[in-house]
A and B are shown apart, each in its own frame.
Chain A
Amino acid sequence: MDALVNKRIKQVLKGDKDAFAEIVDLYQHRLFQVCFRMLGNRHEAEDIAQEAFVRAFINIHTFDQKRKFSTWLYRIATNLCIDRIRKKKPDYYLDAEVKGTEGLDMYSQIAAEDELPEEELMKLELQDRIQYEISRLPDKYRSAIVLKYMEELSLQEISEILELPLGTVKTRIHRGREALRKQLSRQPNFL
């Protein structure tokens, strides 16, 4: 697979744009999945995953073909996701009234987003519940947990993607697991 990818990369470098389509086909699901798990929204995930491929295309001459292409691609995508998450935060005014809701401002929205009441939690389908719990993790732990358990990557690969020492990656995964444990133990019947 790596040999095929490197062949396609060489074609792209020579100016054959269509060779890039095959690269997109090979990695689209993996990349979209990371973005979706990081952002929790299909629409945004699609936008960011597409942007990641565009960046990869523009900067393909900086890719070292001795390394793994998927690692490089994942790095572009996770960086874009983290940028998006950080930019999103101050995007709205907290005291602005939310459209169509009388007297409801963003404070109440955030509270709702942060922690659903127990009866709401019970109504969630399992898949929605997983996504909800993941989205409540701090983004540092979220990226490590998503790469480890949803993309099923090795700790070594995660450390290369996030450009962090192996020890730091382990710590983030440990803390991520502990955070999830606390989140889930709020509901005794769940665990």
Chain B
Amino acid sequence: MNACPERIVHYMHEYLDGEISREHELELKSHLQSCVDCQAHMHELSDVVAFVKGAAHVEAPTNFSNAVMARLPKEKSHAGVSRWLRRHPILTAAALFFLFMSSALFTNFNEQQQFSFTKQENVVVEGETVIIPEGQVVKGDLVVRNGDVRIDGELDGNLTVINGSKYMASTAVITGKTEEINEVFDWLWFHIKDGAKEVVSFFGKEETK
């Protein structure tokens, strides 16, 4: 058998796999006719296949399926939630987005508890009160946070007071809009409007270009 080419054994396996080409099969057959050793080898391999195929079908024990069902993990209360999350990835992403957005706004709201205001010329500050003195004209918007505002003079723009109150003298003149914000929801609304305004003005500019 030493003299036999190695490919002959390979062809035997190709034959057993049912994947032998016409040429290989012819070569194998003519070789087997002339070589007793290879014939024996081929026989033994065919017998191996018959031997293994002789294995009886084995069946699962009765009650197998019940045993499996008993072994399944009990569904936890949050399993329904996690399944829902898996099935609705876009809604999940949207919910997460809103969660983070709102938490960012709330922390902003809480962090900005200190007194602040828009820097403008001609404005006087006394304690936590911003004063526009009588006879003075302030050009531009004024935003006051966590403080009061007293207007004796003239404001040529919008006034926004957040968490504070405004006092107007009889001489006071405000040419723009006046807004007082005290609640969290007002604060949110203000932010949304502000954002929308920016978007609108952005598109407005784009169009004018």
Other-chain residue from A13, A14, A50 in contact with B64 (beta carbon distance below 8 A): A50
B57 touches A29 (CB 8 A): yes
Q: Mark A148-182, 1 if CB is under 8 A from B, else 0.
A: 01100001000000000000001001100110110
Across the interface, A50 reaches (CB within 8 A) one of B49, B68, B73, namely B68
Q: Does B192 contact A (CB under 8 A)?
A: no
B61 in the interface (beta carbon within 8 A): yes
Residue-wise, chain B 36-57 has the 8 Å CB interface mask toward A (1 for contact) of 0000010111011101111111
Q: How far is the CA of A32 from the CA of B48 in the complex (A)?
A: 23
Best-surrounded residue of B10, B47, B69 (most CB of chain A within 10 A)? B69
B48 and A28 within 8 A (CB): no
Please report the C-alpha to C-alpha distance between residue A130 and residue B41 in the assembled complex, in whole angstroms.
Answer: 20
The CA of A189 and the CA of B87, in the complex, are separated in Å by 62
* Interface members, chain A 128-159 (any B CB < 8 Å): 130-131, 133-134, 145, 149-150, 155
Q: Is the CB of A46 within 8 A of B60?
A: yes
Is A185 on the interface with B (CB-CB < 8 A)? yes
With A58-B73, A180-B51, A181-B48 as contacts: A15 and B80 at CB distance below 8 Å = yes
Residues of A within 8 A of B58 (CB): 29, 32-33, 36-37
Q: Quick check: A21 and B60 within 8 Å, CB to CB?
A: no
Q: Which of B49, B64, B83 gathers the greatest number of chain A CB atoms within 10 Å?
A: B64
Q: Is B3 interfacial (CB-CB < 8 Å)?
A: no
Q: Which of chain B's residues have a CB closer than 8 A to the CB of A170? A: 13, 17
Q: If A24-B65, A149-B49, A185-B44 touch, does A49 touch B60 (CB 8 Å cutoff)?
A: yes
Binding site for A on B (CB under 8 A): 10, 13, 16-17, 19, 41, 43-45, 47-49, 51-61, 64-65, 67-69, 71-73, 75, 79-80, 83, 86-87
* Residues of A participating in the B interface, judged by any CB pair closer than 8 Å: 13-15, 17, 20-21, 24-25, 28-29, 31-33, 36-37, 42, 46, 49-51, 53-54, 57-58, 61, 126-127, 130-131, 133-134, 145, 149-150, 155, 170, 173-174, 177-178, 180-181, 184-185, 191
Additional A-B contacts beyond A32-B64, A50-B71, A191-B43 (10; CB < 8 A): A20-B72, A21-B68, A24-B69, A29-B59, A32-B59, A37-B55, A57-B73, A127-B55, A181-B44, A181-B45
